[in-house]
Homo-oligomer: A and B are copies of this chain.
Amino acid sequence: MHENGAMPASDVVEQQEQPWNRRRLRSANERLLLDRLRAHGAASRAQLARETGLSKPTVSSALASLEAAGLVREAGTRAPERGRTAVLYAPDPAAGYALGVDIGRGWLRVAVADLDGTVVARADVRNRARASAALTDLVVTTAREVIADSGVDAAEVVHGVVGTPGVYDGEQRRVRYAMHLPGWGRAGLVDRIREELGVPLEVHNDANLAALGEYTYGVGAGSRLFAYILIGTGLGMGIVGEGRLFTGAHGLAGEIGFLPWQDRQQPERLEDAVSGVAVVEAARGFGMRGRLTAKAVFDAARQGHPAAARAVEVEAERIAHTVAAAAAVLDPDLVVLGGGVGHSVDLLLGPVRERLRALTPLRPRIAPSRLGADAVLLGAVATALDTARDRVFERRTAGT
């Protein structure tokens, strides 16, 4: 189910098939401690011993190894009610860095984060590239600049994730179904970026990453299963269950642009009916004139313009249809609306909920995106961090 772009993360299943010799035991316990520190924050050795069930000497020695490997560092002290003050340990965020890239139609965004997930450098650049070479160049130079800005040695950037519309086909080494990015479907582009940057890269669908971003940093935190609906130039959905992406058999899960949809009017594909363009078309249909954008229509609706208001109603109904279909198939506990319409979700939320009541008895919580335009970038960072943490651990403990 985990359809990585390239450079797949170390295969968990195979690792579990490995036998349990002593070396793996040691490493498993070090890993246990490190994960605990990441999840619950700094802690003393005695505390870790109590919480993990390991003995105090074991914790001491494992922590010493982790510190020697640069994975963990002292982080202040804490005085208990009475007794000796405890020395606290915390993961060293500077043990490695991850790179996140969001290649969108209008903007290219790049960020570098440390292992704590703190973004240490970032750039947002207009994407005016109209050919594949220009785009790859832009990505490479921007990424280099951001890494330079961060003051981090390039070799410390352990892993990167690129978000893009469409789906990366690892065999043909190219992105498919990315209609809105000119030239971006050519083969070998990602390989070129990877080579020039010297960083292992994965490529993922932007809606999927946005979902992961909302899960890690946003409104999806703690959800058992939620769907992120990205409504912009295109239409996409990302699904996150138990903190992991649900990508389907071929990486096409959530391609809700393909949902069947027979309107009274023309549009045959749902994508054409829900995306930003459709709002404009609907507004025109109801009699609005002038140079319209989706944003303009929403703004007009907010001011009480009747044709715009009706266009928004139509859009809400279509979104409700999408949500209803997703709810019936997936049973999420949360649906997040994001993408280009993010700014206008306040207008849509009420009507969508109302239409939904008429469509289905299932009513998942519906919430606007908290991260807005940053969702994809932060999702890319979060995903890159996941494997970066593994890689750093492996690299640094292997040397010992």
On A, residues with C-beta under 8 Å from B are: 1, 17-22, 25, 28-29, 32, 52-54, 58, 223-226, 237, 241-242, 246-260, 262, 321, 324-334, 359-362, 364
Contacts and interface: CB of A to CB of B under 8 A. Distances in A.
Contact of A327 (B25, B54, B247, B258): B258
A37 to B, nearest CB: 13
A169 B32 CA distance: 34
Contacts of A22: 25
Given A252-B362, A254-B329, A329-B329, 4 more contacts: A248-B330, A256-B329, A260-B321, A260-B325
Contact of A25 (B1, B20, B324, B329): B20
A250 B258 CA distance: 26
**Most chain B beta-carbon neighbours within 10 Å: one of A52, A247, A251, A329:** A329
A40 B25 CA distance: 26
Nearest to A237: B329
A247 B331 contact: yes
Given A1-B224, A258-B361, A325-B260, A331 B19 contact: no
A118 to B, nearest CB: 26
Nearest to A356: B260
A328 B360 contact: no
A259 B332 contact: no
Nearest to A28: B20
Contacts of A19: 29, 32, 52-54, 58
A255 B32 contact: no
A154 B139 CA distance: 66
